[in-house]
């Protein structure tokens, strides 16, 4: 299993979530976060924003679905501008459903 952490623009988050659901991946966690990327924030005229609002999506999936999920996120979150986001992929050793105590997705 893999954990995908996708940090995207808040205005693109619902578009990404809807596309994932339509592709058969409805389960995820969505968190409002604040951060900055390599450019260390944004500057517009005299105003400097060093912390930018973003949305982080957490998705656990089988390894063979990872590339498809990344492709969907990249396609739907893209604007072509700085701050479009970042995707991180990590291994997941195991998972459990609390209600049933069942192991696995």
Q: What is the pLDDT of residues 1-58, one digit of tens each?
A: 999 999 999 999 999 999 999 999 999 999 999 988 777 766 677 777 778 899 999 9
In this prediction, residue 47 carries a pLDDT of 78
Q: Please give the model's pTM, rounded to 2 decimal places.
A: 0.88
Q: In the predicted model, what is the mean pLDDT of residues 71-78?
A: 98
Q: What is the pLDDT of residues 83-95, one digit of tens each?
A: 899 999 999 999 9
Distance of alpha carbon 18 from alpha carbon 9, whole angstroms: 15
Give Cβ neighbours of residue 85 (< 8 Å, ≥ 6 apart): 6, 7, 8, 9, 12, 54, 77
Burial (Cβ within 10 Å: 0-12, 13-18, ≥19) of residue 17: buried
Specify the residue for token string 């390894």. 63
**CA 1 – CA 105 distance, rounded (Å):** 9
* Banded model confidence at residue 100, pLDDT cuts 50, 70, 90: very high
Asked if residue 9 lies in contact with residue 66, where contact means CB atoms within 8 angstroms, the answer is: no
**Please, what is the Cα angle at 44 between 38 and 47, to 5 degrees?**
100
- pLDDT at res. 92: 96
> Residue 27: what pLDDT?
95
pLDDT at 3: 98
């Amino acid at each position: 299993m893999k954990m995908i952490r996708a940090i995207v623009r808040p205005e693109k988050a619902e578009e990404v979530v809807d596309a994932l659901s339509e592709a058969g991946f409805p389960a995820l966690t969505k968190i409002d976060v604040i951060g900055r990327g390599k450019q260390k924030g944004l500057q517009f005229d005299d105003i400097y924003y060093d912390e930018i609002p973003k949305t982080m999506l957490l998705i656990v999936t089988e390894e063979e679905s990872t590339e498809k999920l990344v492709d969907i996120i990249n396609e739907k979150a893209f604007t072509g501008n700085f701050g479009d986001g970042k995707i991180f992929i990590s291994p997941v050793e195991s998972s459990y459903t609390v209600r049933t105590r069942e192991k696995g997705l």
